[in-house]
A and B are shown apart, each in its own frame.
Chain A
């Protein structure tokens, strides 16, 4: 199942750190997502796209997972070699488009 079929998400940044938020839309979605989207699984996908190491913060009371990737944006968002500025606004789709086992 696609992660984004039961969660919403948003990317943010501070300096060279990228942060990705996923919020499950209900309890069933949270119970499916939380055990499956582990640090290792997320790191595997993220590492195809950017440098940096993931720290994962589950927030069960808000049905949310935070992934914080230090040094994902070397030199900050203005030093990027992506086309134009602020590619990282779309980075959440790296997680939203992941397929995890049902």
Chain B
């Protein structure tokens, strides 16, 4: 049975850069997928592209690819990534230039164009009203958009918004049978299992007794690779000697991660039914995956719209330490409620204690009576900069007019930005491939 081996080199924009180089240098993988584009990651790219038509690719492109391109070239390993962000065309040219500078002349780069559907935004069925300025609208493309690039054997495929799983399943297109969606469903499922890098190899994972990998293992966590067969089954594993764990539990948790109905996980290439997926431990840190089924191919593509709204979220903290710190924090929070409660609607302000209940609110475990330190946190949705400054000043004012010893103040303002989902007829979304060759 034919197979291809794919590795995961990144699971989010800021992910570590060294694991991808290890995977490429191993000589074991045919392709490395790097998922580098979260929902909001596109927004700074859209802003910079507005000012400069050559800007808008991922700002970490150079740092990530400088060590990876030579290792991948030496081992005949394809790189597939959404590092193109808001400007895959420009990213293709930047990668060609970088390849040239890193001794990889002749490298062929395919940029996938077409996810930007801003000019089609009237055809998007938005799920919520667009309340503010629409900064951009991007459709989630599937593996199909990369077919030409894979078939023509691109060394690097760079995209904007595509489904994360497609960055991995695209490599399988040449060996998957046409006309049967189940093998593609299998390959897409493997993509879904790989797309969050360390989350399937022991990261973000804890056993019921509180045990997890060690600090040493987390510091050098191996990223996964998968041997994917033409029937859509696969075996997931780590490179020999790479720290981490791949077992039924790590795979099950990642399979269901960010899935809603497990019998109908919608991707651009197929709607996936995970309920029949089975995992089998076939070796140390090696798990066989079978049983994913397709339930048709969606006629609509998901679109993410970014809506800029006026105003800020201000997020500020003040700390208390030493004996009675918790009591001083509680009094401080109550004083802030008295100062701020008339300024905001209840849903636009939040006041709590970091170290006590700022994360899980009323569901938090009981706090001990004596805490060495505590921080009072305030966040408020402010219509303008003046209001944000008033909130910040109210917190600072506690250093003089509040409980003793308040300090260690830290604050930030975040612009108000909403991500709105929509759907578009996939026939309206035309994609194409633009090639660059490293001089």
Contacts and interface: CB of A to CB of B under 8 A. Distances in A.
Given A61-B277, A62-B255, A90-B359, 19 more contacts: A5-B208, A8-B205, A8-B208, A10-B205, A12-B258, A25-B249, A49-B360, A61-B275, A61-B278, A62-B274, A68-B260, A78-B414, A79-B416, A80-B313, A81-B350, A83-B359, A83-B377, A93-B363, A97-B363
A14 B265 CA distance: 13
Nearest to A45: B363
Given A4-B208, A21-B253, A76 B418 contact: yes
A23 B274 CA distance: 14
B276 interface: yes
Nearest to A68: B260
B217 interface: no
A100 to B, nearest CB: 14
A66 B363 contact: no
5 nearest A-B pairs in the assembled complex, by CB-CB distance? A12-B258, A81-B350, A81-B379, A48-B362, A83-B377
A84 B275 CA distance: 35
Contacts of A81: 313, 315, 348-350, 379-381
Contacts of A8: 205-208, 249, 253
Contacts of A5: 208
Given A49-B363, A83-B377, A59 B419 contact: no
B418 A59 contact: no
- Tier of interface size on chain A: 35 or more
A6 interface: yes
A13 interface: yes
A63 B418 CA distance: 35
Interface string A1-27: 000111111101111010101010100
Interface string B200-231: 00001111100000000000000000000000
Name the residue among A4, A62, A87, A97 with the largest chain B CB count within 10 angstroms.
Answer: A62
Given A7-B208, A62-B277, A76-B39, A97 B416 contact: no
Chain B contact patch, size range: 35 or more
B257 interface: yes
A72 interface: no
B54 interface: no
Contacts of B262: 57, 59, 62, 64, 66
Contacts of B379: 80-83
B380 to A, nearest CB: 7
A59 B358 CA distance: 32
A62 B363 contact: no
B65 to A, nearest CB: 27
B367 interface: no
Given A21-B257, A59-B256, A83-B315, A78 B417 contact: yes
B257 A12 contact: yes
Interface string A26-69: 00000000000000000001001110000101010111101010
A63 B260 CA distance: 16
Nearest to A29: B208
Interface in B337-394: 347-350, 352, 354, 358-363, 365, 377, 379-381
B360 A14 contact: no
Contacts of B381: 81
B388 to A, nearest CB: 13
